[in-house]
Structure 1
Amino acid sequence: MVNGTIYREYYLFDLPKGAIRLALVRRRCRLRYHLARVKMTQAELSRRTGYSPQQISNWVNNREHMNYESAATVAYVLTCHMEELYDLEWV
């Protein structure tokens, strides 16, 4: 974790004097957009996924990131890909 941001590191290739490192960073959660797209409320998403309304609100307002299992469940219910739930950036 660097400056409050969790980095998942990917090494593209190793060079003799070191490695070139890229990290995929999750930025803003796009859950609000996807809820509007399918005309679903946070309460309905909570009911369909089994996550508490407070947890859904935390994700929507970028207070917490979804873990892998949560993202898979939410993506399934919202009929989108997990990668579409966040703005992603390679750094």
Structure 2
Amino acid sequence: MFVTVKYRRGRCLLSDRLRERGYTQTQLADRTGYDKSIISKYVNGTRGMNFDTAKTIAAAINCTIDDLYEWIEYD
């Protein structure tokens, strides 16, 4: 029998990833073409990223989408 593990996205960790890599929000905006105000909203958790945006940002800062979020296991 297989037990399915499910996850839901938790807190955005973009600010942590930027700090670890020494990038500013402005540098990320320049690297991705996204407006700095939108990057700020992702960092502050007032706006969620869609999958395409998360993939673009992850590639720009050399991490995976999984690295951008806290993942919470549930039944």
What TM-score does the superposition give when structure 1 sets the normalisation length? 0.73
Q: Which blocks of at least 5 consecutive residues in structure 1 are unaligned?
A: 1-11, 13-21
Q: Larger RCO: Structure 1 or Structure 2 (Cα < 8 Å, ≥ 6 residues apart)?
A: 2
Structure with higher strand content: 1
- Shift in Å, 1:73: 0.5
CA distances 1:27-75 after superposition (whole Å, capped 9, x unpaired): 1111011101110100010011011111101110111111111011100
Instruction: Name the counterpart of 1:78.
Output: 61
Structure 1's consecutive aligned runs of 4 or more residues displaced over 4 angstroms after TM superposition are none
CA distance in 2, matches of 1:89, 1:50: 30
Q: Which blocks of at least 5 consecutive residues in structure 2 are unaligned?
A: none
User: Secondary structure of the equivalent of 1:44?
Assistant: helix
Matches within 5 A, 1:36-55: 36-55=19-38
- Give the share of equivalent positions with the same residue, in percent: 34
Indicate the RMSD between aligned Cα atoms, in angstroms.
1.5
Q: Size of the alignment, in residue pairs?
A: 72
Structure with higher helix content: 2
